[in-house]
Amino acid sequence: MKNKKLFSVISTVMLLVLLTLMACDDGGGGGGTSDLNLPVIIGTITGTITLTDVPSPKPKSVSISVSGFDNVTYDYWSSYDSRINITGSGTLSNISWSIPIYEDDDFFPSTGNFSLWIELTNNNSFSIDIPTTKTISSVNANVGSLGTVSLKTITLSGTINVTCNGQVVPYVEIMASASSTSAYGYTTLTSPVANASWSITMPALSSSTQVNFSVYGMSSSGTTLFFVYNTSSVNAYNTNVSGITLNLGNKTSP
């Protein structure tokens, strides 16, 4: 089964690119139009959810997505992220949500797996899989309540040392992923110097769990310079962990 959140992020980026291109002039000098068409909405899946431990200040955004999988044919489909209106912090009960289903989502009736994508005001982001699944019989299904989901988080922090071809790396993305779970979070640093500080917010864990760190290096144009998978790990549970050192040294790139 595919990584739902990765697919959702890619789908969202693709949609943003399309929107940008649609807004651009066609080069003919004012009033031009594009022959690109946005994906066609064929339905809307709706329901409610209760969120607890919503941080203060409230998140920059909370989005929900859904995917389906066929255990016989191994076919799958996945929606774009859809934002939920967050009005405050603490406990927010019975929040209504809706997820547009597009023609290119390749929807078919199935059990729906839902997830949340949370962006915080400190530019940290993390994902939470919603335990409740729902049978989705049509593209206009109202699935009712997804139950209660906690947004309680922990913060992992430390320092990093990394260069590429002896130079400062323009962008360094650090991802923390908990073993045997779908919980993860990430942060991006701009031109980090030696012993640069970093912190990642991610969902609190239900028990002591190994959290692995992977690091991407990117150029100023967004080209991948290097990727180091599971460069380090710590055990985390439901409290913050500090003093994590990521020593990657000098990486090479063509």
**End residue of a domain, out of 150, 174, 193:** 150
Determine the average pLDDT of the residues in 118-129: 87
What is the residue whose two structure tokens read 């990117």? 218
pLDDT score for 199: 95
Please, which residues have CB within 8 angstroms of residue 24's CB and are 6 or more apart in sequence? 34
pLDDT band at 32 (very low <50, low <70, confident <90, very high): very low
Determine the average pLDDT of the residues in 228-252: 95
Q: Is the pLDDT of residue 21 over 70?
A: no
- Quick: pLDDT tens for 158-205: 999 999 999 999 999 999 998 877 778 989 999 999 999 999 999 999
Backbone angles phi, psi at 179, to 5 degrees: -60, 140
- Cα–Cα dist 90/55, whole Å: 7
Do 145 and 165 lie in a common domain?
A: no
57 prior amide bond cis, ω within 30: yes
Do 158 and 145 lie in a common domain?
A: no
Query: Within a 13 Å sphere around the CA of 226, how many CA atoms are in the beta-carbon half?
Result: 20
What is the residue whose two structure tokens read 């080069």? 27
Question: Which structural domain, as residue segments, surrounds residue 216?
Answer: 153-251
Do 16 and 103 lie in a common domain?
A: yes
Do 230 and 241 lie in a common domain?
A: yes
Backbone angles phi, psi at 39, to 5 degrees: -55, 145
Of 151, 85, 77, residue with least CA distance to 116: 151
Q: What percent of the chain has pLDDT over 90?
A: 71
User: pLDDT averaged over the chain?
Assistant: 86
**End residue of a domain, out of 133, 150, 167:** 150
Q: Is the pLDDT of residue 210 over 90?
A: yes
- Cα–Cα dist 55/37, whole Å: 38
Do 158 and 243 lie in a common domain?
A: yes
- Quick: pLDDT tens for 62-115: 999 999 998 888 899 999 999 999 999 999 999 999 999 999 999 999 999 999
Secondary structure, 3-state, the chain: CCCHHHHHHHHHHHHHHHHHHHHCCCCCCCCCCCCCCCCCEEEEEEEEEEEEEECCCCCCEEEEEEEEECCCCCCEEECCCEEECCCCCEEEEEEEEEEEEEHHHCCCCEEEEEEEEEECCCCCEEEEEEEEEEEECCCCCEEEEEEEEECCEEEEEEEEEEEECCECCCEEEEEEEECCCCCEEEEEEECCCCCEEEEEEEECCCCCEEEEEEEEEECCCCCEEEEEEEEEEEEECCCCEEEEEEEEEEECCC
Number of domains, the chain:
2
Do 146 and 103 lie in a common domain?
A: yes
Q: Tokens for 45, please give them.
A: 């899946």
- Quick: pLDDT tens for 55-68: 888 999 999 999 99
Q: Of 18-32, 34-48, 64-78, 83-97, which gets the smallest average pLDDT?
A: 18-32
**End residue of a domain, out of 150, 169, 201:** 150
- Quick: pLDDT tens for 148-171: 999 999 999 999 999 999 999 999
pLDDT score for 36: 58
